[in-house]
Amino acid sequence: MPTDPRVDQYLEKAPEFAKPILRELRDVVHKACPDVSEDIKWSRPAFLYGEKILCGMVAFKAHCSFYIFPSEITNKLKEEGQFAALAEKLAKMTQIADLPPRKELLRYISRAAVVIDQALSTPSTRKRAAQPKPDLSVPEDLASALAKNQRAARAFENFSNSHRREYIEWITEAKRQETRQKRIATALEWLAEDKPRNWKYMNC
């Protein structure tokens, strides 16, 4: 199976409890979808299918999480009524015994790949891809804050148009100035850690 040495390094540096969990997840992903390739996204292992992120995994200090990405696919799978409980189990694993049965996990990942295939084959998806949303102007207060934080500014600049848009819309939608300033401060904190605006939902 095609592997990325950076993922090997991530696994080696993971907490001891997490290593067998991550290795098993990695193996299952490749078994469920042989066409995936490995990458590192937001400082954690990700598996790409058709040049899109299919799923990913992460080790925290006390637990591991496995997620299907993007959230639209996760929501669709949950709506089908088959994988809601499974996704909940995968959100927080502290030992190898917490992993769902291998057969269920294989079916979950395979189904997610099918959903991506279906989305790519629909005319509406092709139309959206051909007409991407234009860049939004960076608000003056956000630009000023980024100028004072090189690490956050670098991450913001390297993000895709959609990720930058998520941050800009979140900040400009604030109704009060106090809320807006708090969101800018939070945005800088997350950007400094190379996190997209909706990074929390990637682990659900």
Per-residue pLDDT reduced to its tens digit, 87-114? 888 989 999 999 999 999 998 898 888 8
Q: How confident is the model at residue 70 (pLDDT cuts 50, 70, 90)?
A: low
Query: Domains, the chain, ranges and CATH?
Result: 5-129 (3.90.1150.200), 140-203 (no CATH)
Q: At what angle do helices 19-32 and 102-121 cross, to 10 degrees?
A: 50
pLDDT at residue 127 greater than cutoff 50: no
Give mean pLDDT, residues 152-172. Answer: 88
- Evaluate if residue 126 carries a pLDDT over 60: no
Note if the pTM is more than 0.75. Answer: no
More confident residue, 75 or 90: 90
Average pLDDT over residues 5-13: 96
The secondary structure of residue 70, as a DSSP letter, is S
Residue 48 β-bridge partners: 37, 53
pLDDT attached to residue 202: 57
Per-residue pLDDT for 68 more than 90?
no
Q: Is the peptide bond before 70 cis (omega within 30 degrees of 0)?
A: yes
Looking at residue 85, what is its pLDDT?
Answer: 80
Identify which has the larger pLDDT, 122 or 73: 73
CA distance linking residue 17 with residue 40, whole number of Å: 21
What's the pLDDT score for residue 182? 94
Mean pLDDT over residues 111-122, rounded?
A: 76
Beta carbons of 192 and 186 less than 8 angstroms apart: no
In this prediction, residue 81 carries a pLDDT of 65
